[in-house]
Structure 1
Amino acid sequence: MKLSEKIQQLRKENGLSQEELAEICKVSRQSISKWEADIALPETDRLLLLANTFQISLDVLLKDELVVNGVKKTGTCGLNAINDAESGIYEGIIIKESLDRDEILDAVSMNKVEIWNAGGAPKYWTAIYFTSSRPDFPELLSGALSGGTDGGEAWFADFKSGNMKYIVFNGLVLRYEIGNLPDKERVCRECEKRGVAKEQMNWPE
């Protein structure tokens, strides 16, 4: 189910006309019509209004976790397009073995889980592909990460939100704007101080 279909379905389930939903979202009726026709995507502040109006979380709205006629349907609803802007949605990978506190997983939506043979210590890593709409997610993750691997290297997590890249260690949140090379080099120097090998800094952007 696309985001456009979900907006239309939730609007009808809540007994709202396009005009009424437009008034709530402070947009024109034509905007609602375009959202439902999959011609345009709502801006981030409008997504928040939609989630609040329909009394569902932003993650559920974006990821299409919705029970319809007793069936839970899952998918994505234009998430990549929304992440092209400053969306406030964080997405990336967490290695479960890097966590001292598993409660951080309550703050994310897990999209996929893989087991990696890292060949080090520990040998196998559990990779959790996640999204989170928590505004304080980088700080929460920083407090949940372990200080180091069994081999003495510093654990870190890398993820992004919009055009910002985050590199997070225990007790430290680093960030840079994607495409800003001097800013990235500054972050890489800080990572080197913490024992991160250069080949590990080829993180996806």
Structure 2
Amino acid sequence: MKLSEKIIELRKANSMTQEELASICNVSRQSISKWEADIALPETEKLLILGETFKVSMDILLKDELTLNEVKDIYTCGNNAVQEKKQELYEGILIKESVVDDSIIDCLNIHKIELWNTGGKPKYWTALFFTSDKRNFPELISKVMLSDPAAKQNWFVDFKAGNNKYIVFKDRILKYQIGNRNEKEYVCNECRKLGVSDKQMNWPE
């Protein structure tokens, strides 16, 4: 089911007119009409409002293969998310603008979305707080990361699984065991070669 169809169904299920939904989202009625006609997509902040208004997760709204009445396991974000149920459960934060193919989002369980003001261009980054139970997730995400080697502008995503920390670039997967200083220093040195500053390597463990 497409996002446009979900918006229509959720609005009608809540006995809401386009005008009423437009008021909640602080947009025009024409914007709601365009969303429902699949002519335009809501901005990230509007998606957050839709999710809060209709009490549905970002997963349900964003993934075409999920229907509104589908029962889906959502694991708690944090250390428990890695330790609970599945051994190969990855946890991290992905900047949506850092990938060239949005279909990678289908591999994620999204728990929270934040807009980060960059102070540059683009003005905002969309931060997706996620877990993933895809065993080959590091390989999948490495195929879609943005990269400009000539300018030494290589995007990366950092995440962890259990006691292992992953730093993934375009076609490059770096990994170290949390607490192993030698392994971490090797990974940090490789990141520096790819143009990553020490400030950017202040990732959570």
- State whether TM-score is above 0.5: yes
- The corresponding residue for 1:153 is 153
Shift of 1:141: 0.3
Matched, 1:166 2:160: no
- Measured on the aligned residues, the alpha-carbon RMSD in Å equals 2.9
**Residues 78 and 160 (structure 1), Cα distance of their counterparts in 2 relative to 1, 3 Å cut:** closer
**Residues 120 and 152 (structure 1), Cα distance of their counterparts in 2 relative to 1, 3 Å cut:** farther
- The corresponding residue for 2:123 is 123
Task: Please list, as runs of the form range in 1=range in 2, the aligned pairs for 1:69-84 lying within 5 A after superposition.
Answer: 76=75, 80-81=79-80, 83-84=82-83
1:72-96 C-alpha deviation (Å, 9 max, x unpaired): 7986469633624882100100000
Superposition TM-score, scaled by structure 2 size: 0.59
**Residues 152 and 186 (structure 1), Cα distance of their counterparts in 2 relative to 1, 3 Å cut:** closer
**Residues 110 and 71 (structure 1), Cα distance of their counterparts in 2 relative to 1, 3 Å cut:** closer
**Residues 148 and 126 (structure 1), Cα distance of their counterparts in 2 relative to 1, 3 Å cut:** farther
Gaps of 5+ in 1: 1-69
1:85-135 C-alpha deviation (Å, 9 max, x unpaired): 882100100000001011110011111111001123322100000110000
| Aligned counterparts of 2:77 and 2:166: Cα–Cα separation in 1 | 22
Shift of 1:163: 0.3
Superposition TM-score, scaled by structure 1 size: 0.59
Gaps of 5+ in 2: 1-68
Query: How many equivalent pairs are there?
Result: 137
The code of the aligned residue for 2:158 comes to D
**Residues 78 and 185 (structure 1), Cα distance of their counterparts in 2 relative to 1, 3 Å cut:** closer
Shift of 1:198: 0.4
Task: Please list, as runs of the form range in 1=range in 2, the aligned pairs for 1:33-182 lying within 5 A after superposition.
Answer: 76=75, 80-81=79-80, 83-84=82-83, 87-148=87-148, 153-182=153-182
1:136-186 C-alpha deviation (Å, 9 max, x unpaired): 00000000111149x852100000000000000011010000000000000
Contact 1:91 1:159 in 2 (8 A): yes
Identity %: 48
- The corresponding residue for 2:200 is 200
